[in-house]
Amino acid sequence: MPGCLAGLATPPPAALHLLLRGRSRMAFSAAAPSRAFQLRLNPLTGDSEWLVVDEEGEEGAAPPQTQRQLLAATSYLDMLNDAARNRAYRCAIDAAVSDPSARVLDIGAGTGLLSMMSARALGAVGGEGRGSVSVCESYLPMGKLTRKVLRANRMENKVKLFHKRSDELEVGVELDSPADVLVSEILDSELLGEGLIPTLQQAHDSLLVKNPKTVPYRATTYGQLVESPFLWKMHDLHSNEANAADGVWLTPDGMENIVSVKLQQHAMQCDPLEDEIRLLSEPFKVFEFDFSERPESQRENKITIKTTGDGCVHAIISWWVLQLDSAGSIFYSTAPKWVRQSSIKDLPQCTDDTKDWCDHWKHCVWFTQGRGAPVMKDQTLSLRASHNLTSISYQLLNPNDEACNGNLKADHLTLLPERIALYGDICWRSALITAIKSALSDRSPQTCIVADDSIFLALLVSSLSPSSKVIAMFPGLRDKGATYLQAVAKANNFSMDQIQVIGKRAASLSTDDLEHKKINLLVGEPFYCGSEGMLPWQNLRFWNARTLFHSMLSEDALIMPCKGVLKLCAMSLPDLWKSRRSLKDVEGFDHSVVNETLGACGDLPGEQQGPCLPYYVWQCGYTKKLSKVYSLMDFNFSEPIHSCFGKTKIEFADAGMCHGFAVWIDWVLDEKNSIVISTGPDSRYWKQGVQLLSKPVEVNPAESAALVEASFDPASGDITFNSSFS
């Protein structure tokens, strides 16, 4: 699912999706059942606060802006535009609800689509008034939207909706009797991350009859061994920084794993990497989950794999296949394109193997550690797969049954793959090294502050300026960052006596922390742990920090980066736009009432457009640049933070259908504007903001132009966009 929007807390994607589904664990006030508490993060300060969400009032009114933004950032819209998924569920529900007295339970209402399908199927077999359909949805703004959809389809009296988690339902209270049909869609890209196992366990224990019918009926996870230079760069930091040979050692010899990728499955669109991936095995089955039975909390499976070529296993790409009906005739798969288009035996044939691009379910990547595992064709490998309540993990074994992955020390740092790749990128490292060396060439700063969570800059400045006192704010890393620096200090030729880790946000820094000295050098990448899924301008938190430090800066203080430039490019994004287009009829049910709340594109009143959302543009299906890159707004870090406004005229370089704009920030490191780090679409390690148009516009170089305006609000950290075409 897409990442969180500006001003909202950023749990992992699966956790955010879970927050908004039937097993949401949002805090509720016992005294005010119509209220809930929502965690809100101010992107410019890093401060969190609990806001009261009050959903009382006029039913027809739009939800508060904060809640509208949160719902727009979820995967509901994309999921409801997935015709193959909807069709598969409809066929399976029609087959499962065959008894007129059936009692159906839908866990996680969403917009109520599956509940309405169940009620319609029950009515078709003469079950109206005899059977029942019950559904739970604990997130109040989503539940309110569910009621609007039910009312629009005259289903409010045919579906019982409860604003509760599934584990808060009781037979004899909310449910008249145990349900004999369970309908659910509590699946993430990994399958288990939304709490599938504990949800099914509790349902089988307390809410269902023995041997219930279930939709889906079964899920099977698959994997495939691959070699890929691109994926290798996302986990082998030690080899890549050795190739850089620039003297900065994030992973010194003997401590190769002290900074590593998080040992988990990482959701990623792998279809765009098809030409950069070499398959080293056929697909293999990993785990099977039968929804009609109570699942085990954990299992382990040893898999024997025969390799199909010589190479190095850099990763395991995995996906899952749903069997939605008990007869085994209705399937849905999240497999990569090369698997769907193959004629591999023993793989289920799905209802629609040419399904549209979608973003709600991606593939998953598990990185082998270090340099990967070298293999030869026809070699037999052993893979140990295990799962717990929420995740699946792998361990590649050598012939002696020893783990190839190795054991990580307790004090190591784990980062996302994109950050690992960036830290090993020669050009990125060179830009920062050149800028810092230039800054130190004519001065010897007494006090330097690394304002963000950059371990690279903390090491670099400490190494290049032994006489400086370096203060690493490390607002996210905190004590872990301090332990890490202590471990690698000797390899980088500096003493921990010259560096201090504060572990505070900028607002908490005092003159006592500086020993009443002025700041001579303020630096940042900028990068803040926990903000990886946010919009590019969330890292303007650096500008806010610079403002809070204003009275502590020396008159000749050097700030790096010295400014940020908001950039944009007009793009054709048909797959992404289609996945977020406005809803009308979804398998026979009117969903038009959800369009405004979910931030849909097309067929909305006036020129209304949805919010700008964060995406890796290179993973957004078919993409094409229709214009050159334009500068829209400058953020000058030599000045305290302030509101900004910018506008530019876009002239089109290529003909095509314009669906919106990709937006990002270029960080200018030096005052001469000669060293720039771009976070645009050509850099696949950063997310961009994507502002989709309310309606696509056909453009050509000779006749078309667009005027784009943007404004930055320093109070909220939001940037709003307006565009018009001529």
Q: Which residues are catalytic?
A: 185, 194
CB 207 within 8 Å of CB 253: no
Query: What CA–CA distance (Å, rounded) separates 431 from 609?
Result: 37
- Mapped onto helix, strand or coil, the DSSP state of residue 210 is strand
Instruction: Give 29's DSSP letter.
Output: -
| Cα→Cα distances 136→3, 163, 202, Å | 25, 6, 14
Alpha-helical regions (H) of 555-607 = 574-579
6-41 in b/e burial notation, b at 16+ Cβ within 10 A?
bbbbbebbbbbbbbbbbbbeeebeeeeeeebebeeb
Buried-exposed string 329-350: b where 16+ CB fall within 10 A, e elsewhere: ebbbbbbbbbbbeeeeeebbeb
Q: CA torsion sign, 351 to 353 to 357 to 363?
A: positive
Q: CB–CB of 660/612 below 8 Å?
A: no
Helices 113-124 and 140-152: crossing angle, nearest 10°?
40
Instruction: Give the angle 386-391-394 at the CA atoms, nearest 5°.
Output: 40
Identity at 436, one-letter amino acid code: I
Nearest to 531 by CA among 43, 99, 27: 43
Rounded Cα gap, residues 617 and 685, in angstroms? 10
The Cα-based distances of 474 to 153, 284, 456, 479, 529 in angstroms read 52, 42, 12, 8, 9
Question: What burial letters (b/e) apply to 689-713, b meaning 16+ CB within 10 Å?
Answer: bbbbbbbbbebeeeebebebebebe
d(CA 479, CA 483): 6
* CA distance linking residue 532 with residue 416, whole number of Å: 8
DSSP state letter for 683: S
SS3 (DSSP) at 331: strand
